[in-house]
């Protein structure tokens, strides 16, 4: 199992909070006073979100730096500017309270984050229909197309979209098709729809609160964020006949407005039923649980340990961060960036092949504990093994019993050279400081006994 990341400030009310209130507060005499009841609700929420140090208690691997009350390592904080602006970082590593939007799936994959736990504070109920606003997709020149999977068969009569047009580029004249939509299904030819900026009820407008342009063109305002001073619209696009979609592709046109698709839901007008979808411009995610909290699975997950055949060198952590931002192969797990140590071997310097994952590469996890990791590695050519665990002095690496250097890899992690063939690799925590402390303590005890 990979790690998980929670992102919630615990400001939501559980769905069964009213029932708890009836049982514990409404009776005479009440079983709890208001203060104790509030503490109970908080306890229920932190159990659902597994925060702040519950992952350590339940032995569920988390990526949040707080993790059991131990302050995060220096390299953890050096890695975090990939997720949070440097001037906004909280030194104790409470990542869940700092990130405001879902990070890119590939960056989460580098951290071996398989699951993302969020609340539903950002989501929307509008006219009896639910919309998942957690991720969303902005369509522009860098990413003009988004494909939305439909995980569950559902016969629908309409496609509902929640979003807006970039306020700086909305055409004042209207009559623009801002996106084309292709609905694929297994039993019918593709359907082609259009999202416009002027067709009342099926259009987007600029996000300004109480937009005069939106009122003029009949855009249906569905979501208002007073603090941010913006609003979003629901465009309800009818199908010619009921259809069971498998995928929906939305492509930006060359119009003046840039569409932001914050949510998508299939709606059946005949029954009032619906199924929320998950548009994403940050990689591939899948909703696997929806209750008081939501759990998304990261489909761009990287294993805890994997092999690469291309390395980039960086002089320091800032240089390594830049390489991760610039080189897609690193984010995809097809290459790695290494901060060379004194005496870097010639083989590492020559490991500059094509960014790829060789089909014959295999890494099997044999044993994993807090102070030792045992792997079986098989590769037909020289490779570099990345272990997505924190780099820290005191760790030793053995390849078939022979010690080999551990390199700071991808800023935060450990990496070692692996020659072609099948090898047993052991990472073991054996800090010299512990041995020195043991000898000093023993010596002090002997002196004390001699006095």
Span 53-101, pLDDT tens digits:
888 888 899 988 654 444 578 899 899 999 999 888 877 777 888 888 9
What percent of the chain stands above pLDDT 70? Answer: 91
Cα separation of 147 and 339, whole Å?
37
Whether 237 contacts 178, CB under 8 Å:
no
* Preceding amide of 52 cis, omega within 30: yes
Taking the alpha carbons at both ends of the chain, their separation in whole angstroms is 55
Measure the CA dihedral 351/353/357/361, to 10°.
-50
Using the predicted structure, report yes or no on whether residue 434 has a pLDDT greater than 80.
no
Q: What counts of helices (H) and strands (E) characterise the chain?
A: 10, 27
Cα separation of 335 and 328, whole Å?
9
**Tens-place pLDDT, residues 261-314:** 999 999 999 999 999 999 999 999 999 999 999 999 999 999 999 999 999 999
Half-sphere exposure of 359 (CA within 13 A, CB side): 0
User: Is the C-alpha dihedral spanning 294, 295, 299, 304 positive or negative?
Assistant: positive
Using the predicted structure, report yes or no on whether residue 348 has a pLDDT greater than 60.
no
| Domains in the chain, CATH or no CATH each | 3-118 (no CATH), 124-284 (2.60.120), 310-433 (2.60.40)
Q: Looking at residues 339-364, what average pLDDT do you find?
A: 66
pLDDT of residue 352: 59
What are the E-state strand segments in 197-325? 220-225, 230-243, 245-252, 259-268, 273-276, 285-290, 294-298, 305-308, 311-313
Using the predicted structure, report yes or no on whether residue 201 has a pLDDT greater than 60.
yes
pLDDT of residue 10: 85
pLDDT of residue 368: 95
Using the predicted structure, report yes or no on whether residue 15 has a pLDDT greater than 90.
no
The secondary element (H helix, E strand) that includes residue 319 is: helix 317-326
Cα separation of 383 and 338, whole Å?
13
pLDDT of residue 69: 41
Cα separation of 339 and 79, whole Å?
14
pLDDT of residue 68: 42
Cα separation of 36 and 16, whole Å?
17
Residue (of 190, 187, 199, 181) closest to 279 by Cα position: 181
Residue with the larger pLDDT of the pair 290 and 256: 290
The mean predicted confidence, pLDDT, of the chain is 89
SS3 345: coil
Residue with the larger pLDDT of the pair 228 and 246: 246
pLDDT of residue 22: 92
User: In terms of C-beta density within 10 A (0-12 exposed, 13-18 middle, 19 or more buried), how is residue 226 classed?
Assistant: exposed
Using the predicted structure, report yes or no on whether residue 158 has a pLDDT greater than 50.
yes
Long-range contacts for 18-25 (Cβ within 8 Å, ≥24 apart)? none
Cα separation of 374 and 319, whole Å?
30
Whether 412 contacts 76, CB under 8 Å:
yes
Q: Looking at residues 139-157, what average pLDDT do you find?
A: 96
pLDDT of residue 355: 56
Q: Which residues partner with 293 through β-bridges?
A: none
Residue with the larger pLDDT of the pair 200 and 256: 200
Using the predicted structure, report yes or no on whether residue 353 has a pLDDT greater than 60.
no
* Cβ within 8 Å of residue 350, ≥6 positions away: none
What percent of the chain stands above pLDDT 90? Answer: 70
Least confident window among 52-66, 117-131, 371-385, 432-446: 432-446
């Amino acid at each position: 199992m990979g790690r998980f990341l929670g992102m919630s400030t615990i400001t939501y009310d559980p769905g069964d909070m009213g029932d708890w209130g009836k049982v514990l507060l409404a009776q005479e005499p009440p079983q709890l006073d208001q203060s104790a009841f509030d503490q109970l609700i908080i306890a229920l929420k932190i159990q659902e979100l597994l925060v702040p140090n519950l992952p350590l208690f339940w032995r569920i691997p988390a990526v949040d730096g707080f993790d059991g009350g131990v302050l995060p390592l220096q390299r953890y904080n050096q890695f975090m500017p990939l997720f949070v602006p440097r001037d906004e970082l909280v030194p104790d590593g409470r990542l869940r309270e700092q990130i405001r939007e879902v990070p890119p799936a590939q960056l989460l994959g580098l951290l071996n984050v398989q699951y993302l736990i969020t609340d539903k504070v950002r989501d929307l109920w509008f006219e009896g229909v639910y919309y998942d606003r957690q991720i969303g997709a902005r369509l522009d020149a860098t990413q003009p197309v988004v494909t939305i999977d439909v995980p569950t068969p559902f016969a629908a009569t309409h496609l509902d979209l929640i979003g807006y047009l970039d306020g700086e580029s909305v055409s004042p004249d209207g009559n623009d098709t801002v996106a084309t939509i292709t609905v694929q299904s297994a039993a019918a030819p593709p359907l082609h729809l259009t999202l416009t900026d002027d067709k009342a009820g099926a259009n987007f407008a600029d996000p300004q609160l109480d937009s005069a342009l939106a009122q003029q063109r009949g855009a249906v305002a569905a979501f208002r964020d007073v603090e941010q001073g913006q609003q979003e619209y629901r465009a309800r696009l009818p199908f010619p006949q009921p259809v069971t979609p498998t995928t929906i592709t939305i492509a930006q046109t060359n119009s003046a407005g840039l569409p932001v698709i914050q949510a998508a839901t299939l709606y059946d007008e005949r029954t009032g039923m619906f199924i929320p979808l998950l548009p994403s411009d940050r990689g591939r995610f899948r909703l696997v649980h929806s209750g008081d909290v939501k759990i998304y699975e990261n489909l761009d997950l990287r294993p805890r340990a994997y092999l690469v055949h291309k390395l980039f060198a960086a002089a320091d952590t800032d240089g390594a961060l830049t390489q991760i931002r610039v080189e897609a192969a690193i984010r995809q797990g097809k290459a790695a960036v290494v901060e060379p140590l004194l005496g870097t071997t010639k083989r590492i310097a020559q490991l500059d092949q094509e960014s790829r994952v060789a089909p014959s590469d295999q890494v099997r996890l044999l044993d994993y504990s807090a102070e030792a990791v045992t792997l079986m590695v098989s590769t037909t050519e020289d490779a570099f093994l990345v272990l997505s665990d924190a780099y820290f002095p005191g760790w030793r690496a053995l390849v078939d019993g022979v010690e080999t250097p551990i390199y700071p890899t991808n800023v935060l992690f450990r990496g070692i050279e692996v020659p072609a063939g099948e090898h047993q690799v052991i990472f073991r925590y054996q800090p010299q400081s512990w041995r020195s402390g043991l000898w000093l303590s023993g010596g002090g005890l002997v002196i004390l006994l001699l006095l």
